[in-house]
Amino acid sequence: MTSLSWRRTPWQADPLSWVTAPYLPLVAALLTLVHGLVVLVAAGQVEPRPRAQYAALVIAVVGIGAVHVVTRPRGARLSATRIAALAIAPAAAVVVSAAGYIGEPFSIELWWAPLAASLFLMALSPYISMVRMATLGFGLAAVTAVTTLLIVVPDDARWPPFTIVSSAIMPIAIGTIGGMTIIASLTRGLERWSERPLAPLSPEGSAAVTDAVDAVTSERIREGRLLLRRVIDSGVVTDDDAQKAAELAAKLRQELAGDIDRTWLQRAVVARAVQLDDPLRLAERLDLSQRTALRALLDALLPDDGLSSGSARVELRETKGGAVAVALRIISTLPEGQRESFLAPYYVSLESTVQNLRWRTGPVTAVSFEVGGALPRAATDPLRPPPAGMPGGPRL
């Protein structure tokens, strides 16, 4: 795994929020509230200081809810300072809850606060990298261990200190490892998905792509098959046959090497009605979030293989400032009203990851944008009203 993979978040790989559910923090907050009330009320773990336990529960729930607020709109990027500020709530909930049990032993296996900290990590998992997940998990586990050792252990002689501390930090450790595993699987899976050929939705379209790929393969090996057939029929391998075989082998090796060396975008549009103009292989300079958004846009606008050749064109050029300019021209078969409502989410997602986005809808959908360098402030605010002519914006 590359160092970049350790620092990539699922939301960066999935800006359209197909996998990284935008309401995950709210679900985690609800689970924390329900679990806390069940343990405190039904299981009788609220004594001896009920106010302290309920205050800690409120802190934990509000802290997880704050994750939902700060990641709006559409998974805003979280700085290390903001993540540290958010982590104060679950850490404080652990300390306040432990303080509420001073002087009286309780069932450590039913302590709700460490699990609330684990759910906090789950709520943050779509928006932080594996490195930050590991750092945050270690920090919360350290706070819980020290708090348990200083406050809980002196009042509980039933178990050795190591057992009590281990029981307290176990939910946080499981949440950290689970979060890192989810982040890794999502980012790697989406990266592989972005490079797969555009898959038609209909069985007929899928069969058409398969036939097209088979035709290309058959054409490549056609001369070799003819040569083998001639040698088998004659029963003799001449010098000309050997020379021809060497030439065919070199040609096939060159073509296969060319396939391997194709960019992710060339692999994505193989056997589809898309003209790709990228002589400088600039597609490789798009990051994973930009690749995912562009790939999803092409998937959405090319739902089948019934479009004729040239129905879509993708062009990439380098600007004077060193950025990559991307232009798309796609003939759309959607009705006008459906087209604008259908494409609006893609406009919002692209605007959050690219610069100078321009979008014109109509019988021909035209999209252009630039990537590279720091994003201007306006481009980082996906709720800014779309300019004239954009989906959801005023008409020209």
Domain CATH for 337: 3.30.565
Residue with tokens 């990539």: 8
* 331 and 240 both lie in a single domain: no
* 171 and 203 both lie in a single domain: no
Contacts with 98 (C-beta within 8 Å, 6 or more apart), sequence order: 113, 147, 148, 151, 152
Q: Give the integer Cα–Cα distance in Å for 346 and 82.
A: 27
Cα atoms in the Cβ-side hemisphere of radius 13 Å centred on 66: 18
Domain of 278 in residue numbering reads as 272-396
From 195, 220, 240, give the residue that closes a domain: 195
* 187 and 203 both lie in a single domain: no
Cβ atoms within 10 Å, residue 221:
12
* 202 and 189 both lie in a single domain: no
Give me the helix-helix angle, 130-147 and 80-99, nearest 10°: 20
Q: Give the integer Cα–Cα distance in Å for 326 and 349.
A: 16
Written as one letter, the residue type at 41 is V
* 63 and 212 both lie in a single domain: no
* 216 and 242 both lie in a single domain: yes
* 165 and 220 both lie in a single domain: no
* Structural domain contains residue 328: yes
Q: Give the integer Cα–Cα distance in Å for 281 and 41.
A: 62
**Residue 236 dihedral angles phi and psi, to the nearest 5°:** -135, 140
**Residue 189 dihedral angles phi and psi, to the nearest 5°:** -65, -45
Model confidence, pTM: 0.57
* 37 and 184 both lie in a single domain: yes
Question: Is there a contact between 107 and 45 (Cβ–Cβ < 8 Å)?
Answer: yes
- H-type alpha helices, 38-160: 50-70, 80-99, 112-124, 130-147
Burial 321-351 (b: 16+ CB within 10 A, else e): eebbbbebbbbbebeeeebbebbbbbbbbbb
Q: Give the integer Cα–Cα distance in Å for 97 and 222.
A: 75
From 238, 261, 284, give the residue that closes a domain: 261
Question: Is there a contact between 179 and 121 (Cβ–Cβ < 8 Å)?
Answer: yes
pLDDT in the model for residue 395: 33
Cα first-last separation, the chain: 48
**How many residues make up the chain in this entry?**
396
* 179 and 206 both lie in a single domain: no
* Structural domain contains residue 347: yes
Q: Give the integer Cα–Cα distance in Å for 222 and 181.
A: 46
* 234 and 172 both lie in a single domain: no
Contacts with 232 (C-beta within 8 Å, 6 or more apart), sequence order: none
- DSSP-based three-state secondary structure for 137: helix
Written as one letter, the residue type at 267 is R
- DSSP-based three-state secondary structure for 238: coil
* Structural domain contains residue 161: yes
* 313 and 331 both lie in a single domain: yes
pLDDT in the model for residue 394: 32
pLDDT in the model for residue 5: 55
* 209 and 279 both lie in a single domain: no
From 161, 176, 195, give the residue that closes a domain: 195
* Structural domain contains residue 267: no
Bridge partners for 365 per DSSP: 330
pLDDT in the model for residue 326: 86
pLDDT in the model for residue 373: 47
pLDDT in the model for residue 199: 47
* Structural domain contains residue 266: no
Q: Give the integer Cα–Cα distance in Å for 246 and 40.
A: 79
pLDDT in the model for residue 128: 84
Give me the tens of pLDDT residue by residue for the chain, a chain 396 residues long.
Answer: 444 456 566 655 555 554 456 688 899 999 999 999 999 998 888 888 999 999 999 999 999 999 988 887 655 567 888 899 999 999 999 999 999 999 888 888 889 999 999 999 998 888 888 888 999 999 999 999 999 999 998 888 788 999 999 999 999 999 999 888 888 877 776 666 555 554 444 454 455 545 555 566 677 677 777 878 888 888 888 888 788 888 777 777 666 655 556 777 877 776 666 788 888 888 888 877 677 777 767 766 665 444 555 577 888 888 888 888 888 887 766 666 656 666 666 666 666 667 788 877 777 778 888 876 444 433 333 333 344 443 433 332
Total domains in the chain come to 3
